[in-house]
Structure 1
Amino acid sequence: MDERVVDFNPKKFASKGIAFIVVLALLVIIAFQSFVIVPAGHSGVVLQLGAVQPNVLAEGMHFRIPFVQTVIPVDVRVSKTESSQASASKDLQTVTTTVAVNYHLDAATVNNLYQRVGLEFQTRIVDPAIGEALKAVTAQYTAEELISKRSEVSIKVKEVLAAKLSAYNMILDEINITEFMFSEDFNRAIEQKQIAEQQFLKSKLDLERIKVEKEQEITKAQAQAEALRLQKQEVTPELIKLRQIEAQLEGIKKWDGKLPNVTGGATPFINVGQ
């Protein structure tokens, strides 16, 4: 009877177990590395061995080549930035403009922006573009026009800024000019001008009031003169006699039938009763 001897080597068995675990771990890592999730509101820029690829990943889960491709999520939601820029107006007044800008990246072409600019596009592109747009537009208006024509200025700034941002695959949503600040000397000049205009308006109103009152007085005097003239024309001897008769009749109506006790004339008053 043949007996076979089994050679059991613990070290060899342990090494095989370790190799199996390593392989299994590598497979798990590769499986996880084969998929990537692009968060909501983002686009995925694909890098293959460091080179930007033409395809852009939308939000959600996507397959990628492990250890070869890398996905950079880029926020394409609306972003807000506020900037204050000093510039010169058409009449060479120094004006500091505070503007709030809303913009977002073109989700389909973020790979071009990433390749040309990187992720620091706000400090490299957006902020300088806001300054250039404000300087270009404010130079077309005087300081007073910047205040009185703010909506028109805002529209022009938006047009100029939109053109600058579109060159880098960025879309301008809205801008709001929140404040214009001028020098203290200019503010004092504006205040003095407003005071002078108010005083001029008050003087004009007072002059018009005096003119109206004078016309009213003339009209009233003319009416009174006309009334006197008409009354004078109506006074005739017959009218005078009629008024005398009316007065005598009125006196008769009021007489109580008694003679007066005292009468007067050329002589001193005499008591009739005596």
Structure 2
Amino acid sequence: MNKTTTPILILLVLLIAVVFQSAFIVQQTEKAIVLQLGKPDNNVYAPGLHFKIPFIQNVIYFDSRLLEYDAQPAEALTKDKKALVLDNYARWRIVNPLLFYQTVRTIPGAQARLDDIVYSQLRAALGRYTLTEIVSTERDTIMQMVTKRSSSLIKAYGIEIVDVRIKRTDLPPENQRAIFGRMRAERERQAKQYRSEGQQESITIKSLANRQRTVIIAKANKEAEIIRGQGDAIATKIYAESLGKDEEFYNFQRSLEAYKDSFKNNTRIIVTPDNKFLQEMQ
């Protein structure tokens, strides 16, 4: 290598370094600003190839896409003085990188401002509605109003809020315990009412069944007595007719019945041989 080519190579390397330090590319999803000795040059650079003064200026890139901020749950009061724990989020984007850098500088700084503004607007909006309206009927209206007002207030920071939504609404722990206690007492009251109504219905059914049983048994006994009386009358008639035809057979039948009634359970009877009671055995 001769003395002529060495300076040329050094100059070429320096030229390449200067070009690399001068050129910068902004992606399609980004916007950029250039700082000169720590101060912005009041220009916003769109996607594409751009140039800056090497070693003096530096580039800061900002995401131009929609960003999401998930806020920490916080309490708010409704119109009817009910406390709610709100878990909300916001979708936002940087519309003016220069103003953004001059006011909040970083994403965490922007999120801090978002937290203050969105929460204050949510709390103010919820204070105009009752708990039932917030949970069911007026939720979309509230979200649209909060989004519009929050975006208007945060415009001074180069930010646009696209949407604010409530992910979840809860009651504070002490309110939950009180509500659960009321719900439990209400369910116990209903259970007692159902039990008392069931017992009353059970007593009514049992009383009706017992009355029907008593009536059925009485009718059955009545019919049984009638049938038994009719049978006894027929039997008596038959006996009378049959025994009337033969007096000796009647006496024999009556003696057998007397023996049957007398000689029970090993009964002992002492009589004389000529006793009339034993005449049918002689």
TM value normalised by structure 2: 0.58
CA distance in 2, matches of 1:64, 1:39: 11
Correspondence 1:264 to 2:271? no
Question: Any idea what SS the aligned residue of 1:263 has?
Answer: helix
Cα offset for 1:205? 1.0
Alignment counterpart, residue 30 of structure 2, candidates 12, 25, 43: 43
Match of 2:161 in 1: 170
Task: Please tell me the root mean square deviation across aligned C-alpha atoms, in Å.
Answer: 4.6
CA distance in 2, matches of 1:160, 1:246: 103
Match of 1:65 in 2: 51
CA distance in 2, matches of 1:151, 1:199: 28
Contact 2:90 2:161 in 1 (8 A): no
| Superposed CA offset, 1:215-263 (max 9, x none) | 31243144335535755886795x3455448999xxxxxxxxxx67933
**1:63-212 matches, cutoff 5 A:** 63-67=49-53, 71-75=59-63, 76=65, 78-95=67-84, 97-101=85-89, 103-105=91-93, 109-111=95-97, 114=100, 117=103, 118-119=105-106, 120-124=109-113, 126-139=114-127, 140-142=129-131, 145=132, 150=135, 158-164=143-149, 166-167=151-152, 168-172=159-163, 175-177=166-168, 179-182=170-173, 184=174, 186-187=175-176, 189-212=178-201
| Superposed CA offset, 1:83-140 (max 9, x none) | 2323323343554x2515252426xx3547637854332112x202331243134422
Contact 1:82 1:99 in 2 (8 A): yes
Contact 1:78 1:104 in 2 (8 A): yes
Per the alignment, do residues 173 and 187 of structure 1 end up closer, same or farther by CA in structure 2, a change over 3 Å counting?
Answer: closer
Contact 1:102 1:174 in 2 (8 A): yes
Q: Percent identity?
A: 15
Cα offset for 1:169? 2.1
Per the alignment, do residues 165 and 105 of structure 1 end up closer, same or farther by CA in structure 2, a change over 3 Å counting?
Answer: farther
Q: Which has the larger radius of gyration?
A: 2
Match of 1:32 in 2: 20
Contact 1:47 1:71 in 2 (8 A): yes
Q: Note the residue ranges of structure 2 that are not aligned, 5 or more in a row.
A: 153-158, 237-255, 270-276
| Superposed CA offset, 1:43-98 (max 9, x none) | 12345961133x632xxxx3113229864322336434232323323343554x25
Per the alignment, do residues 181 and 155 of structure 1 end up closer, same or farther by CA in structure 2, a change over 3 Å counting?
Answer: farther
CA distance in 1, matches of 2:22, 2:228: 129
Q: Greater shift after overlay, 128-137 or 224-233?
A: 224-233
CA distance in 1, matches of 2:120, 2:17: 49
More strand by share: 1
Correspondence 1:56 to 2:77? no
Cα offset for 1:207? 2.0
CA distance in 2, matches of 1:77, 1:45: 16
Q: Note the residue ranges of structure 1 that are not aligned, 5 or more in a row.
A: 1-12, 249-258
Contact 2:33 2:98 in 1 (8 A): no
Question: Any idea what SS the aligned residue of 1:52 has?
Answer: coil
Cα offset for 1:200? 1.2
